[in-house]
């Protein structure tokens, strides 16, 4: 049975939402969950829940890394944090996957330091599944590596392509390089070199894509360095929040729009569901020798349950094995 | 009287929307407009319009640069394009401002090549006024310079701050450096160095801001390199389009949401007005020795009219003189 370590201390709503998510997950999926964190805190919530007792166990960790703490320094200092202990379980192969909604930097840092990378992978990258206009797609890297070299970008393309093929069931996924224009002459030296590397491969590389194409779903895999990817992600969140605030203000100003808004609620709910991060199942840290899934900091129980679901897919589809094989074929 | 050269051939709706915008502008503002482009095409539309004849004149240019053409090469090849001719008028001080809704890269390229930079400015940058949640703010650079050095970023801060103070009437504008986290330790070497430069000045520098703060209106001036700025801009446009498409699909699926949508129309219109690029008056190319305003490619007549309005403010508020003076005070 697949065994998943879950950081019980990570995320804005931890430990409650994490534990509720774990309980939900073992009821829905055939898996065992190891809740990593302060035993007393975990028991406080777990004891109130009804679940198959053999499917959730607790692994005590004395410390927790907070959301704002500097990643690298804190990972080194807090040796017994829930993140470090969870990654350690993964390294010793006591679990198949580690999931955390905690400090993303710390998860990336601990993952890279302790697990190292898969054979052939130079740098790990965070893959994020976005809802496109036509279909969802993956962007990689969303923030693990802010100084990406051309070879790293190429490998992100391979890893993203494997994710799309095996996890999203997309055949021969198309790959685009995020750039400020579509022409070959555009972009920084690193991007131009990455483009040349991609063109030497048999990957389904379609060239540069602009940020304006990001939500149009023009490609299956959008490749970029971690700085840019992080900006894409955060701007999207920021704009979505601002737009819904604007809308709320305007809709409640007068009576008719207010009635209109109430009648339109199902439509808003459908959209919220489409862009809701709790539906996506978390973002994989691709390229490390182990399976790490980063859930959104605001994860609720449902987001955690869905992250467990995608963790199970990660194991079943043998994603890391496919990544190793595809990288061997690249030969750059 | 202020004299403005307007690229009649630039933009998705040129020349018609440009000419209609020019006619509208001379009716609303006290200015003269020089329409630059193919005389016959311009006359075709202008002859149908009713306007004070002495306030619009035509300057013939034999060529037009299309939206997709590579910027630098085309500017060099098409010596008599409407963009080059317009910039040339500006250089010879025959006009006070040049406005184009055409190929942004070509406008930037011609502007930098022919006008050079203001005393003390190392690189020009595009400033974009964004609608924030609380108030609008300026982001610089939105795509003129994709390899910004720390000093360029500092100067963008100064130029953006002047724009905010004199054009938006904001006192002592706050400046933030766009980064992947707020901590000092975050970001690339270039950003860290820029941060140190900012801290040595008396500017109202508040440190790093994250892309998630971009729409919250936390700062008055967001400074970033042109690649990142372009990504912020394009992702925003892409997401806004995708969101409104999703919404339209969902709202028209069933009857009640459809009725709701109709009742809510005034609210949608208010939001559209808030984010509509035709309301903003175009983006200044700050730092060149001359006044260049880049209007959105999709500009309609209203956007052009508003760009003329902001061009007049640009001249009246002596923005470039303030930029030169503020840069002298920096002393880095």
Same domain, B264 and B141: yes
Whole-angstrom distance, CA of residue B135 vs CA of residue B126: 20
For residue A237, what is the nearest residue in chain B, using CA coordinates?
B212
The whole-number pLDDT of residue B271 equals 62
Whole-angstrom distance, CA of residue A122 vs CA of residue A143: 15
Contact B214 A238 (CB under 8 A): yes
Contact A228 B228 (CB under 8 A): yes
* Mean pLDDT, range B232-251, rounded to an integer: 78
Q: For A329, list phi and psi in degrees, rounded to 5.
A: -70, -25
Instruction: Please indicate, yes or no, if residue A218 is contained in any of the structural domains.
Output: no
Q: Provide the domain limits for residue B17.
A: 1-121+287-317
The whole-number pLDDT of residue B249 equals 74
Compute the nearest-CA separation of B161 from chain A (Å): 22
> Whole-number mean pLDDT of chain A?
90
The whole-number pLDDT of residue B259 equals 77
With a cut of 90, say whether residue A182 has pLDDT above it.
no
How many contacts does A have with B, using Cβ atoms within 8 A? 179
Same domain, B269 and B292: no
Same domain, B174 and B250: yes
| Mutation site for A-interface testing, chosen from B128, B211, B226 by largest number of A Cβ within 10 Å | B211
The whole-number pLDDT of residue B131 equals 75
Judge contact between A35 and A50, C-beta under 8 A: no
How many Cβ atoms are within 10 Å of B186's Cβ, its own excluded? Answer: 19
For residue B131, what is the nearest residue in chain A, using CA coordinates?
A242
Contact B211 A238 (CB under 8 A): yes
- Chain B CB contacts of A181 under 8 Å are 105
| Mutation site for A-interface testing, chosen from B145, B178, B231, B251 by largest number of A Cβ within 10 Å | B231
Whole-angstrom distance, CA of residue B142 vs CA of residue A273: 32
Category of A120 on φ-ψ map: left (φ > 0), alpha (ψ -120 to 50) or beta = left
Category of B290 on φ-ψ map: left (φ > 0), alpha (ψ -120 to 50) or beta = left
Same domain, B21 and B93: yes
The whole-number pLDDT of residue A112 equals 95
Structure tokens at B36: 């630059």
Contact A271 B105 (CB under 8 A): no
The whole-number pLDDT of residue B178 equals 95
The whole-number pLDDT of residue A238 equals 80
- Chain B CB contacts of A240 under 8 Å are 239, 243
Considering CB atoms only, which of B188, B231, B253 is closest to A146?
Answer: B188
Compute the nearest-CA separation of A298 from chain B (Å): 14
B75 band by pLDDT with thresholds 50, 70 and 90: very high
- Chain B CB contacts of A144 under 8 Å are none
What are the pLDDT digits (tens) for B145-179? Answer: 988 999 999 999 999 999 999 999 999 999 999 99
Contact B212 A234 (CB under 8 A): yes
| Mutation site for B-interface testing, chosen from A211, A245, A271 by largest number of B Cβ within 10 Å | A211
Same domain, B76 and B92: yes
Contact B188 A226 (CB under 8 A): no
With a cut of 90, say whether residue A24 has pLDDT above it.
yes
Whole-angstrom distance, CA of residue A296 vs CA of residue A283: 8
Contact A264 B257 (CB under 8 A): yes
With a cut of 70, say whether residue B273 has pLDDT above it.
no
Whole-angstrom distance, CA of residue B158 vs CA of residue B162: 6
With a cut of 70, say whether residue A125 has pLDDT above it.
yes
Of A123-132, A231-240, B213-222, B253-262, the one with minimum mean pLDDT is B253-262
* Mean pLDDT, range B273-281, rounded to an integer: 66
The whole-number pLDDT of residue B274 equals 61
Instruction: Please indicate, yes or no, if residue B137 is contained in any of the structural domains.
Output: yes
Give just the sign of the alpha carbon dihedral A245, A251, A253, A259.
negative
With a cut of 70, say whether residue A133 has pLDDT above it.
no
Contact B242 A133 (CB under 8 A): yes
What are the pLDDT digits (tens) for B199-211? Answer: 999 999 999 998 8
| Mutation site for B-interface testing, chosen from A126, A128, A180 by largest number of B Cβ within 10 Å | A180
Considering CB atoms only, which of B253, B259, B271 is closest to A247?
Answer: B271
Percentage of chain A modeled with pLDDT above 70: 95
The whole-number pLDDT of residue A274 equals 61
With a cut of 90, say whether residue A241 has pLDDT above it.
no
Contact B143 A253 (CB under 8 A): no
B133 band by pLDDT with thresholds 50, 70 and 90: low
The whole-number pLDDT of residue A181 equals 78
A242 band by pLDDT with thresholds 50, 70 and 90: confident
A271 band by pLDDT with thresholds 50, 70 and 90: low
With a cut of 70, say whether residue A152 has pLDDT above it.
yes
The whole-number pLDDT of residue A281 equals 79
Which residues have C-beta within 8 Å of that of residue A146, sequence separation ≥ 6?
A: A225, A226, A227, A230, B180, B187, B188
With a cut of 80, say whether residue A265 has pLDDT above it.
no
Judge contact between B220 and B164, C-beta under 8 A: yes
* Mean pLDDT, range A298-313, rounded to an integer: 94
The better pLDDT of the pair A50, A217 is held by: A50
The whole-number pLDDT of residue A276 equals 62
For residue A266, what is the nearest residue in chain B, using CA coordinates?
B257
Contact A181 B105 (CB under 8 A): yes
A188-218 burial: b if 16+ Cβ within 10 Å, else e? eeebbbbbebbeebebbbbbbbbbbbbbbbb
Instruction: Please indicate, yes or no, if residue B243 is contained in any of the structural domains.
Output: yes
Contact B242 A181 (CB under 8 A): no
Structure tokens at B88: 């040339």
Same domain, B115 and B63: yes
With a cut of 80, say whether residue B272 has pLDDT above it.
no
Which residues have C-beta within 8 Å of that of residue B274, sequence separation ≥ 6?
A: A246, B131
The whole-number pLDDT of residue A188 equals 87
* Mean pLDDT, range A296-302, rounded to an integer: 92
Compute the nearest-CA separation of B120 from chain A (Å): 25
Which residues have C-beta within 8 Å of that of residue B2, sequence separation ≥ 6?
A: B30, B31, B32, B96, B97, B311, B312, B315, B316
Question: ipTM of the assembly?
Answer: 0.83
Instruction: Please indicate, yes or no, if residue B323 is contained in any of the structural domains.
Output: no
Contact A259 B257 (CB under 8 A): no
For residue B257, what is the nearest residue in chain A, using CA coordinates?
A264
Instruction: Please indicate, yes or no, if residue B326 is contained in any of the structural domains.
Output: no
Query: How much is the CA Rg of chain A, to the nearest whole Å?
Result: 20
Whole-angstrom distance, CA of residue A271 vs CA of residue A128: 18
B112 band by pLDDT with thresholds 50, 70 and 90: very high
Contact A242 B185 (CB under 8 A): no
Same domain, B138 and B203: yes
Longest dimension (CA), chain B: 64
Residues pairing with B81 in the sheet: B63
B268 band by pLDDT with thresholds 50, 70 and 90: low
With a cut of 90, say whether residue B98 has pLDDT above it.
yes
Contact A264 B243 (CB under 8 A): no
With a cut of 70, say whether residue B291 has pLDDT above it.
yes
Structure tokens at A319: 């994603």
Whole-angstrom distance, CA of residue A291 vs CA of residue B218: 37
Same domain, B263 and B136: yes
Q: What's the number of domains chain A is made of?
A: 1
With a cut of 80, say whether residue B244 has pLDDT above it.
no
A108 band by pLDDT with thresholds 50, 70 and 90: very high
Length of chain A: 332
Instruction: Please indicate, yes or no, if residue B328 is contained in any of the structural domains.
Output: no
Q: For A179, list phi and psi in degrees, rounded to 5.
A: -145, 175
Residue B143 CA to its chain's centroid (Å): 10
Considering CB atoms only, which of B242, B264, B274 is closest to A246?
Answer: B274
Instruction: Please indicate, yes or no, if residue A11 is contained in any of the structural domains.
Output: yes
Instruction: Please indicate, yes or no, if residue A180 is contained in any of the structural domains.
Output: no
Compute the nearest-CA separation of B111 from chain A (Å): 19
Judge contact between B197 and B203, C-beta under 8 A: no
| Mutation site for A-interface testing, chosen from B69, B182, B186, B215 by largest number of A Cβ within 10 Å | B215
Same domain, B113 and B140: no
For residue A69, what is the nearest residue in chain B, using CA coordinates?
B183
The whole-number pLDDT of residue A273 equals 65
The whole-number pLDDT of residue A40 equals 96
Compute the nearest-CA separation of B261 from chain A (Å): 6
Structure tokens at A292: 């790490």
The whole-number pLDDT of residue B276 equals 62
Same domain, B271 and B305: no
Same domain, B97 and B7: yes
* Mean pLDDT, range A118-133, rounded to an integer: 89
Compute the nearest-CA separation of B27 from chain A (Å): 32
Residue A190 CA to its chain's centroid (Å): 25
Considering CB atoms only, which of B213, B235, B261 is closest to A236?
Answer: B235
Q: For chain B, what is the HEC assignment? A: CEEEEEECCCCCCCCHHHHHHHHHHHHHCCEEEEEEECHHHHHHHHCCCCCCHHHEEEEECCECCCCCCCHHHHHHHCCCEHHHHHHHHHHCCCCCEEEECCCHHHHHHHHHHHHCECCCCCCCEEEEEECCCCCCEEEECCCCCCCCCHHHHHHHHHHHHHHHHHCCCCCCCCEEEEECCCCCCCCCHHHHHHHHHHHCCCCCEEEEEEHHHCCCCCCCEEECCHHHHHHHHHHHHHHHHHHHHHHHHHHCCCHHHHHHHHHCHHHHHHHHHHHCHHHHCCEEEECECCCEEECCCCCCHHHHHHHHHHHHHHHHCCHHHHHHHHHHHHCC
- Chain A CB contacts of B185 under 8 Å are 70
Of A81-85, A233-237, B9-13, the one with minimum mean pLDDT is A233-237
B217 band by pLDDT with thresholds 50, 70 and 90: confident
- Chain B CB contacts of A247 under 8 Å are 267, 271
A329, exposed or middle or buried, with CB in 10 Å at 0-12, 13-18, 19+?
A: exposed
The whole-number pLDDT of residue A280 equals 73
The whole-number pLDDT of residue B156 equals 98
> CA angle, corner A309, sides to A305 and A313, nearest 5?
165
* Mean pLDDT, range B241-264, rounded to an integer: 73
**Domain stops at, among B260, B279, B298:** B279
Residues pairing with A299 in the sheet: none
The whole-number pLDDT of residue A270 equals 67
The whole-number pLDDT of residue B267 equals 67
Q: What's B100's domain CATH number?
A: 3.40.718.10
Same domain, B80 and B132: no
Percentage of chain B modeled with pLDDT above 70: 94
With a cut of 90, say whether residue A99 has pLDDT above it.
yes
């Amino acid at each position: 049975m697949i065994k998943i370590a879950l950081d019980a201390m990570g995320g804005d709503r931890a430990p409650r939402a994490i534990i509720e998510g774990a309980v939900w997950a073992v009821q829905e999926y055939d898996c065992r969950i190891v809740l990593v964190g302060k035993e007393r805190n975990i028991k406080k919530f777990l004891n109130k829940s009804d679940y198959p007792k053999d499917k959730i166990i607790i692994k005590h960790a004395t410390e927790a890394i907070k959301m704002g703490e500097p990643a690298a320094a804190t990972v080194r200092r807090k040796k017994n944090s829930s993140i470090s202990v969870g990654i350690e379980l993964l390294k010793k192969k006591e679990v198949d996957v580690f999931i955390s909604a905690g400090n993303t930097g710390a998860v990336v840092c601990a993952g890279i330091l302790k697990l190292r990378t898969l054979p052939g992978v130079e740098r790990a990258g965070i893959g994020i599944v976005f809802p496109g206009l036509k279909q969802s797609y993956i962007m990689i890297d969303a923030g693990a590596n802010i100084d990406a070299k051309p070879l790293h970008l190429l490998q992100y393309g391979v890893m993203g392509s494997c994710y799309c093929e095996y996890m999203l069931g997309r055949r021969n996924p198309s790959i685009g390089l995020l750039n400020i224009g579509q022409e070959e002459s555009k972009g920084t030296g690193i991007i131009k070199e990455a483009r040349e590397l991609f063109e030497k491969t048999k990957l389904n590389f379609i060239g540069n894509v602009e940020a304006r194409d990001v939500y149009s779903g023009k490609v299956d895999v959008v490749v970029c360095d971690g700085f840019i990817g992080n900006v894409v992600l955060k701007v999207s969140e920021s704009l979505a929040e601002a737009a819904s605030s604007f809308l709320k203000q305007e809709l409640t100003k007068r009576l008719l729009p207010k009635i209109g808004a109430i009648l339109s609620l199902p439509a808003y709910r459908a959209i919220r569901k489409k862009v809701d991060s709790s539906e996506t199942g978390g973002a994989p840290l691709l390229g490390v020798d182990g399976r790490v899934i980063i859930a959104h900091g605001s994860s609720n129980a449902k987001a955690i349950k869905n992250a467990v679901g995608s963790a199970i897919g990660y194991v079943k589809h043998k994603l890391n094995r496919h990544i190793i094989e595809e990288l061997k074929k690249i030969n750059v």
